[in-house]
Structure 1
Amino acid sequence: MDEILRFLLTESPAPEPQGSVGDWWARHLRLTSRFSLPVDVALAAGFAADRLGYAFASGYHSALRSLLPELSREHRYALCVTEAEGGHPAAMHTRLTGSGEGPLRLEGTKAFVTLGTAADVLLVVATEGQDEQGRNRLRLVRLDARRPGVTLTELPPPPFVPEVPHAELRLHAVEVAPDEVLPGDGYTRYVKPFRTVEDCHVFAAVLGWLLQVARRSGWPDEVREELLALVVTMRGLAQAAPASPAVHLALAGALDVCRRRVDGLGALWEQVDPPTRERWERDRLLLNVAGKVRAKRREAARRKLTPSE
């Protein structure tokens, strides 16, 4: 832990200009060779980002490598879940067909893929059919983004963090090797825990970025130290079991504290250079994304941990 804390406290807080996804990735990639833990990469790359959007991109990418440690650091990844009816298991209509030793095939559409057009490798959730209870049997497929039959169409920029690309994904008769289908249930082993893993790593990256802004803008020592304490909390949660109800409650509390600290910054933003301040006002909505999902996760954890009478 000492190495990443020293980085956040002593590295130059003047970020290199990052005018494109390529610039972001070059900086992120350099930091993956310096730090081994994905959450430390998220913290360091967040600190090195010149804007919140690229901090988010590093947190998202680090979350995927935390969830799937076998993923190579040299490639950019995108998790492809959301379809026209949403991201819950019953909404999955993208199909994985075929059996035996021959090639399998993917067919379907994903409506919203973060980092889609920038990805080298796609992680696609698909159904193999239904079980005896009529529920989708889901798998996660690792797929080269340039494979024949794969079409990624960039979507219009969102109103916040517009630098991060999003895309629609269409899959038409895409051949898949059996070893590209990851083991285990696609939802319970990958999609569901990713929501927790992503929160930990994205908020770690945001905290890293805020520490950089705090240092170069002359914010009080007490504020920097509070942000550093939150870094330690988020770093610990990022290494905890993502399916644990106790972790879900601790994460919910940590996110509440993060928001209160951010909301309490107030007039300190007047000390920040205008371009950074203006982008922050535009992009801070990112912190509220998936609020309903987090609330449901918290309530479910409370129910599971409430002692029976």
Structure 2
Amino acid sequence: MNSMVFDFLLTAVPGDSAAVDAPAGLARHRALSADFPSSLDRAAIGGFDSAGTGSAFLAGYHEALRALVPALAPTDLVSMCATEAGGGRPSAIATTVTADGHVTGTKSFVTLGTFATRYLVIARAGEQPDGRPALRAVLVPAGPAAVVTPLPELPFAPEIPHASVVFDAAPGDMLPGDGYTDFLKPFRTVEDVHVLAALLGQLVRVARQGQWPAEAVEQLLALFAAVRGLGAEDPGSVGVHIALGGVFDRLARLCADQEPLWARVDPEIRQRWERDLPLLGVAGKVRAARLAAAWNSLA
């Protein structure tokens, strides 16, 4: 199998940058990255092939879910369904799942929900002895028992579709393990790492097309190497959370350092990047709290 992802990023010819819808873009991504066994490498390749930050994010999101649930087929378009009206904390989850896997409840903000073929739903299966909710992860196929309502586009990264989904005794398959500790909690880190890989792949594409200095490309690839290393570790590790905080900080400083180089880039691509910059700050408060908790656990 081809695993030379660094060589790919340095030598592949960037594809047509015309925007495509999410299913078509992910289908192209699967075909381009099929020979790469690592989900992080596939995420970087998806970013390299992306028209903008939104489609790069979708490639990273898709690969993050495949890394979290390895049994998923490459052709599955899966959405994580956790957030409800009260938020995404375990105590806020009111959606329920019966012992035979039927899910009932509303998820208020589902990324890729409009096009998903399956939903990874975090749902209550009762209570633990201490009164906390007992959560399970359930794979629910799209169908009439899962009613999808598209949400308005966000002002940034409009290529990323979002929806609310109402489940009405929707049949699904419960996955083994705890819904929070084995799925929802690690996904936040797994998603961060894969989306970072995709964004760095996209920036390598921009740097090559804009003929940025070799040093700029070297720095992007070095940061990708760091992300790749974190992806091989346990996402629940305190050390991973601390190192990931450093990677995000380094990315912010690198983007600031390389800002003058965007003058060499096609104006449309530059405007799209500037429009989508807020995407890098999404979940920033959650990451900051996670980083602080990691440091506190060592005190």
TM-score, structure 2 as length reference = 0.96
1:275 and 2:268 equivalent?
A: yes
Question: Is contact 2:120-2:140 (8 Å) kept?
Answer: yes
Written as runs of structure 1 = structure 2, the 5 A alignment for 1:1-309 is 3-97=4-98, 99=99, 103-146=100-143, 148-176=144-172, 180-306=173-299
One-letter code of the match for 2:52? R
CA deviation map 1:122-172 (0-9, x unaligned): 1001001212221110000001112x3111111000111111110000011
Specify the SS of the correspondent of 2:114: helix
| Count of matched residue positions in the alignment of Structure 1 and Structure 2 | 298
Query: What secondary structure, in the 3-state scheme, does the structure 1 residue paired with 2:4 have?
Result: helix
Question: Any gaps of 5 or more consecutive residues in structure 2?
Answer: none
Is the Cα–Cα contact under 8 Å of residues 13 and 213 in structure 1 kept in the other structure? no
CA distance in 2, matches of 1:63, 1:174: 24
1:150, 1:171 within 8 Å by CA — same for their partners in 2?
yes
Distance 1:69 1:224 in 2: 32
Q: Is the 8 A contact 1:240 1:247 kept in 2?
A: yes
In 2, are the aligned partners of 1:59 and 1:202 still within 8 Å (CA)? yes
- The alignment yields a C-alpha RMSD, in angstroms, of 1.3
Q: Distance in 2 between matches of 1:134 and 1:93?
A: 14
Following the alignment from structure 1 to structure 2, what is the Cα–Cα distance between the partners of residues 260 and 298?
Answer: 18
Asked if the contact 1:42–1:58 (Cα under 8 Å) also holds between the matched residues in 2, the reply is yes
Rounded to whole Å, the distance in 2 between the matches of 1:303 and 1:71 is 36
Asked whether the equivalents of residues 52 and 206 of structure 1 are also in contact (C-alpha less than 8 Å), the reply is yes
Structure 1 residue 13: Cα displacement: 2.9
Q: How far 1:32 sits from its partner (Å)?
A: 3.7
- 1:138 & 1:81 partners in 2: Cα distance? 11
- Cα distance between partner residues in 1 of 2:15 and 2:70: 31
- Alpha-carbon distance in structure 1 between the residues aligned to 2:203 and 2:101: 45
Cα 1:96–1:285 change in 2 (3 A) is same
Q: How many angstroms does 1:2 deviate by?
A: 6.1
Q: Secondary structure at the match of 2:136?
A: strand
Distance (whole Å) between structure 1 residues aligned to residue 290 and residue 103 of structure 2? 31
Normalising by the residue count of structure 1, what TM-score does the alignment of the two structures yield? 0.93
AA matched with 1:23: A
> 77-86 or 269-278: which moved more?
269-278
Deviation at 1:36, TM superposition (A): 1.2
Q: Could you tell me whether the CA contact under 8 Å between 1:32 and 1:73 is conserved in 2?
A: no
